[in-house]
A and B are shown apart, each in its own frame.
Chain A
Amino acid sequence: MIASLLASWPPAVLVPLPVAIPLLVCAALLATAHLLPGRTPDILATITALVVSGLSAIIAVQAGDGSVDYWFGGWQPRDGIALGIGFSVDAASGWIGAFIGFLYACTFVFAWGFFARTHGHFHILMLLFLAAMIGFCFTRDLFNLFVWFEVMSVAAFALTAYHLARSSIIGAINFTVVNSLAGFLMLGGIGLLYARAETLDFAGIAQGVAHAGRDPVVAGGFCLVAAALMIKGATVPFQFWLADAHAVAPSPVSVIFSGAMVSLGIFGLAKLSAVVFDGSAQIREAIPVLMIGLGAISAVLGGWMALLQRHLKRLLAFSTISHAGIMLIGIGTLSAQGSAGLLVYVVGHGLVKGGLFMIAGILLATRASIDEIALRGLGRGIAPAGVAMAVAGLLLAGLPVGLLDTGANLLHGSLTAAHPYALAATIAGGALTGAAVLRAAGRIFLGLGEDPGDEAGAPSEAEREKADRPLWLMLAPCCAMLALDAALPASWIHGMAPGAVTAFSHHALRGMVSEGPAWPAWASVAGALGLAAFALFRHRLPRLVVGPIRATQSAPTRALEALHSGLIGDYVAWLAVGLALMAGVLAYA
């Protein structure tokens, strides 16, 4: 009956609601928070997130193989020129919106009562963050995209510094400076594109870009906008802010940061490169070099850095850099298969990484530490969390089950013939990050590895989060996310993907979406298990095996760690280097 009711609605009516409802609830919460009884913000926020998720899913179903367009203020385009702001929701954008809503609902359950004393301020900022993400996914107007990009950033800055410890303030400042620079770059880029295309609607700009031919203004606009989105998407060499910010934000906030915010940067870049910039031969030439090159470096570098960490949230943050790099490679393939893989990967990665950050939060709350070495063997009392962490680690490494694997498999398929090095980088990224998580799980929950002795006392700030929630309440949303990742059937994705990608890219990307080879997933899992085992049982191996490895990896490792200095001046210098690199590639394309 509900299905028949839905069919009789004009499909577009629902489109503004996933943005408007969280905005309305958050404004109402702000006005009345001091009057509301204790748990009301928690309940309201959870329900709102679920409603957003449901509405987005309905819109995604309605979109089918096309897209649902909506013009705000009733300003329909006249003579083909867009006057107002439009939303254009295709199946991929809609389902990603649904995933984001679900992620927030899980996070609100996870953070139940955690932020009780703040007059609902946490929920207000989170709901704003949610609305901005959905707007970012749905919009078809470049300036509107920028508005939601900025709302996301502003809400995120305050959430990062929430603990107000020295480390969290430094992390938040690095985050704020780098991401504000991203905002400036994006605004500059939009100005250039507007100067050439004289409109802000995606379709209109695409026409302008195609018409302009080889034009430094268009190339400059692309360079700035893409750099801004790659800063958000934590691509090397723009990635430095991420580890600082994600490591210090409260765990529920880190879930959102790593699960959705970073991958949205990549998602936005994928959408713009396909929809807006497809008409420029120069940019189409530059994209594979830039995205596959930088993505592959990010995948390996992030994974390697993850393996070096003992601070669990910092470890997970670096693994996010690695996986964001893998997604970026999907853009570089310029194929329907690669884009389909990247879109599925966004969702799968978000579910798994969100679950892992929740486990880090559980350790912070119940064991009052986040240091892998100090926590050795302390996880024995909370075995269910250990099982969840091991499962999530295996999924992250590429275990061929579930959504993350479906995405990775599609990506691998798009890389095997044309880009063998990129394929190797994605396998290495999965193996390294999976190994880091599995090593931590083994050490914390099984007490494996060498007895650290004095090493156990980490020279870092004492960190903990309030232990006011039962274990099951914190574990339930984590398991729900992992279960969803594992349960979604690959056949459903394969059936939907070709139409969804065509609609997502406004017909720029077409072609077959077929299953990739199975061996890369197994190679990645085997690599992860091997590396984790090596890290945990190194002290039992003969010196002959360990010695050369230690000797060869020590120097580059130290150099890599020195790069992540935590100094904002360094980060800005690297940002300029990245920008120059992109400009150079564009100039020679």
Chain B
Amino acid sequence: MSPRLRLAVLGVALLALVPGAAATIAHLPDFGATIAAYGERINAIAPGERHVANMVSAINFDLRGLDTLGEEFMLLAAITGTVVLLRGRRGETLTDRAMRLPGRAILPRSEAVQLTCRLAGPLLMMFGLYVVLHATVTPGGGFQGGVILASGTLLAYLGEGYGGWRDMVRSHWLDAMEGGGAVLFTVCGLAPMLTGAAFMQNVLPLGTFRDVFSGGLMLVENAGVALAVCGGFTQLFLEFLEETREADGPEEPGEDSA
């Protein structure tokens, strides 16, 4: 189809969809009318039965934990897929050291940037850990905290340069973190079955409401998610940074330490 014909076809189809869409939208419940029965029900049950203040975590890790297990593995699939595709083009040979282009000048980081990153990096990591640990009390949790932790490592790249960053980050460790976190999450599902309970049934002591140690099994699952997300995202950063190299350029191992 020519671009004009294509747009015409699309336009006619969208026009034909308008009456149906309008009727559907007109019959939807009004904005903010009621909370659906399912949500109402869960809100009533979860604080009492799971001692958890953050309802989102209660839903994610307990009531609808299987969905989150699926989402976790969706992330794992996306990251593994990205790694497969990027490495497939660059070549499998994976070095644990930064490579450098001979003759390319290495611009040293300014001291101000270095200082800022050295100060902000640990603080950001602390904040990430805080978000992870308080999953059952305040908004946040393993997914969010894991991403903050992973972006903390990027500050190391900003402050210490690529060579310094690669010295701290090892691809195999990241694989181990990502896979290990996912194993931990899955085992949280399977282990309760050994006691005769259902898959992912919350069999651990539930702790006290609004305490960091509340929610029982949710805390372990949350830790698994944080580990996997942190490892996975850092792996992604590593692959994307490696991608900035010329594919076929001459390279030699060297200290790109500035």
Query: Is A216 engaged at the interface, CB distance under 8 Å to the other chain?
Result: yes
**Is B77 touching A128 in the complex (CB atoms < 8 A)?**
yes
Known contacts A31-B176, A31-B183; A73 and B84 CB within 8 A of each other: no
Name the interface residues of A178-219: CB closer than 8 Å to any CB of B. Answer: 192, 194-195, 198-200, 215-217, 219
A20 near B84: Cβ-Cβ < 8 Å: no
Contact digits for B3-32, partner A, Cβ 8 Å, 1 yes 0 no: 100110110111011011101101111000
If A73-B202, A81-B37, A220-B24 touch, does A30 touch B70 (CB 8 Å cutoff)?
Answer: no
With contacts A147-B71, A151-B77 known, is A195 near B28, CB below 8 A?
A: yes
Which one of A96-104, A355-363, A581-589 is at the interface? Answer: A581-589
State which of B45, B73, B198 has its C-beta within 8 Å of the C-beta of A73: B198
Q: Which of A21-29, A374-382, A481-489 contacts B (4 or more CB under 8 A)?
A: A21-29
Per the 8 Å Cβ criterion, residues 466-522 of A in contact with B are none
Does chain B have a CB within 8 A of A40?
Answer: no
B92→A118 contact, CB < 8 A = yes
The interface residues of chain A lying within 8 Å CB-to-CB of B80 are 30, 121, 124-125, 128, 158
Task: Identify the closest chain A residue to B69 (Cβ).
Answer: A23
- Interchain CA distance A34-B235 in the complex, whole Å: 15
User: Count of chain A residues with Cβ under 8 Å from any Cβ of B?
Assistant: 76
Tell yes or no: B65 within 8 A of A by CB: yes
Contact A83/B45 with A164-B85, A572-B10 known, Cβ cut-off 8 Å: yes
B16-A580 in contact (CB<8A): yes
Per-position contact with B for A132-152: 1 when CB-CB < 8 Å, else 0? 100100000001100110110
Main secondary structure of the interface of B (DSSP, over half): helix
CA distance A583 to B14 in the complex (A): 11
Q: Is A334 an interface residue (CB 8 A)?
A: no
Known: A158-B84, A576-B17. A73 touches B179 (CB 8 A): no
Q: Is the CB of B13 within 8 A of A580?
A: yes
Measured CB to CB, the closest approach of chain B to A213, in angstroms, equals: 11
With contacts A31-B179, A195-B28, A200-B38 taken as known, whether A83 is within 8 angstroms of B13 at the C-beta atoms is: no
A104-121 interface code vs B (CB 8 A; 1 in, 0 out): 000000000000011101
> Does B179 contact A84, Cβ atoms closer than 8 Å?
no
> How far is B198's CA from A552's CA once the two chains are assembled, in angstroms?
64
Q: Are A74 and B201 in contact (CB under 8 A)?
A: yes
In chain B, residues 31-89, which have Cβ atoms closer than 8 Å to a Cβ of chain A? 36-38, 41-42, 45, 62-67, 69-71, 73-74, 76-78, 80-85, 88-89
B129 contacts the other chain (CB 8 A):
no
> Within the complex, what minimum Cβ distance (angstroms) separates B227 from chain A?
10
Shortest beta-carbon distance, A240 to chain B, in Å? 12
Query: Taking the nearest CB of chain A, how far is it from the CB of B39, in angstroms?
Result: 8
Q: A74-B197, A572-B10 are in contact. Are A23 and B20 (CB under 8 A)?
A: no
Q: Determine if A83 and B70 form an interchain contact, defined as CB atoms under 8 angstroms apart.
A: no
* Cβ of B256 to closest chain A Cβ, rounded Å: 24
Q: In the complex, what's the smallest C-beta–C-beta distance from A142 to chain B, in angstroms?
A: 11
How far apart are the CA atoms of A83 and B42 in the complex, in Å?
Answer: 7
Contacts of A29 in B (CB 8 A): 179
A534 is an interface residue with CB less than 8 A from chain B: no
CA distance A206 to B145 in the complex (A): 38
Assess the A579–B13 pair: CB atoms within 8 A: yes
Q: Which residues of B contact A576 (CB under 8 A)?
A: 9-10, 13-14, 17
* B residues in contact with A580, CB < 8 Å: 12-14, 16-17
A435 CB within 8 Å of chain B: no
A216 to B18, CA, bound (A): 13
Question: Across the interface, which residues of A come within 8 angstroms of B13, CB to CB?
Answer: 573, 576-577, 579-580
- Does B239 touch A at the CB level, under 8 Å? no
Q: Is the CB of A33 within 8 A of B175?
A: yes
Give chain A residues whose Cβ lies under 8 Å from the Cβ of B176. Answer: 31-32
Establish whether residues B70 and A73, one from each chain, have CB atoms under 8 Å apart when the complex forms: no
Asked if residues A135 and B37 are in contact (CB atoms below 8 Å), the reply is: no
When C-beta atoms are compared, the residue in chain B nearest to A220 turns out to be B24
Return the 5 tightest CB-CB contacts between A and B, nearest first: A158-B81, A31-B179, A30-B179, A27-B182, A220-B24
Name 25 interchain pairs, CB-CB below 8 A, sorted by A: A23-B186, A26-B182, A27-B76, A27-B186, A31-B178, A32-B176, A33-B175, A73-B63, A73-B201, A74-B202, A119-B175, A128-B73, A144-B70, A150-B70, A151-B70, A154-B77, A158-B84, A162-B85, A195-B29, A200-B38, A223-B20, A569-B3, A569-B6, A574-B9, A587-B20
Which residues does A use to contact B, with CB under 8 Å? Answer: 13, 16, 20, 23-24, 26-34, 70-75, 81, 83-85, 117-119, 121-122, 124-125, 128, 131-132, 135, 143-144, 147-148, 150-151, 154-155, 157-159, 161-162, 164, 192, 194-195, 198-200, 215-217, 219-220, 223, 565, 567, 569-570, 572-574, 576-577, 579-580, 583-584, 586-587
Given contacts A81-B38, A223-B20, A583-B16, 6 further A-B contacts (CB under 8 A): A16-B193, A72-B66, A74-B198, A128-B77, A150-B70, A573-B13
